[in-house]
Amino acid sequence: MDEWVLEEKQGVKYFRLQFSETKLKNLVCLFITRVGGLGFNAVQPELFQQNLAWIQKNFNIGQVNLLRQIHSDTIFYLSENFRENYKLEGDGLFTDKPDIFLGIRVADCLPIYLFSPEKKIIGIVHSGRQGTLSLIVLKMIQMMQEKFNGNPNEIYYAFGPSIGLCCYNVSKEIIEQFERIISEYHITGAIDLRNNKSYIDIKKINQIVLEKIGIKEVADIALCSSCSTELFYSARQDNSLQRNIAIIGHRD
């Protein structure tokens, strides 16, 4: 059975996706928590780079390719590492090249890891409210299929942590924006109205959308980032620019 396992190195706690199938033994999926002091704040570039270097050294991986995230549905294919990291704007990356590691930064938004074991294609998307509204994960899958002549049954996904239905209070206007997706994909249980407030579950929306097109889930860090601030940075709770980092890569 595939599962996220909470581990620790030098005081830094992280989740590692442990696979049961030997054909996935070279696939690396990590989610670095806040425990141990690693944070990825874009306005602290020196510390940002020091923390990336710590990850590269301690997990024996190369450059972690990162975008300047803008809550969009812009996605890039990488055939080689970025010459200038953190320059392009977007919210999704994918590749079929070994030893190219992809990352996104999150603090309540949902990181979605995607991979095709047969074709060794990997991808990662940053799907917060805007990314979910634009169904960035579907755009990623469509781009993978078009580039590599694949089909959805070959692609699997895993979720990192995100803010949950318990905590994600939004306006009625935002709920209305989600009505088309909820209706089109026959999603139930993703909205909760309590105490005259509206709450939404972006993880469930992404999950149902992926299930409807035949993408299989392998694992989920089923924790709310806003509830579990001992483990995760939360934009809503912390009111800061610190971010966790999610990483995927395929070793040669």
H/E element holding 146? helix 136-148
Asked, for residue 25, whether it belongs to a domain, the answer is: yes
Give the phi and the psi of residue 237 in degrees, each rounded to 5.
-85, -40
- Does 240 have pLDDT greater than 80? yes
Token pair in block for residue 113 = 């890891």
Instruction: Give CA torsion, residues 93, 232, 187, 206, to 10 deg.
Output: 10
Task: Give mean pLDDT, residues 178-184.
Answer: 96
pLDDT of residue 105: 98
pLDDT of residue 218: 94
Kindly report the average pLDDT of the chain as a whole number. 95
CA distance 133 to 48: 29
Domain around 154: 3-163+215-250
Q: For the domain that residue 95 is a member of, what is the CATH number?
A: 3.60.140.10
CA distance 150 to 119: 8
Instruction: Enter the DSSP assignment of 21.
Output: S
Asked, for residue 207, whether it belongs to a domain, the answer is: no
Asked, for residue 205, whether it belongs to a domain, the answer is: no
Task: Give mean pLDDT, residues 115-127.
Answer: 94
Q: Residues 55-111: pLDDT tens digits?
A: 999 999 999 999 999 999 999 999 999 999 999 999 999 999 999 999 999 999 999
∠ Cα 125 77 62 (to 5°): 80
* Secondary structure (3-state) at 243: coil
pLDDT of residue 153: 82
Q: Give the chain's domain count.
A: 1
* Secondary structure (3-state) at 214: coil
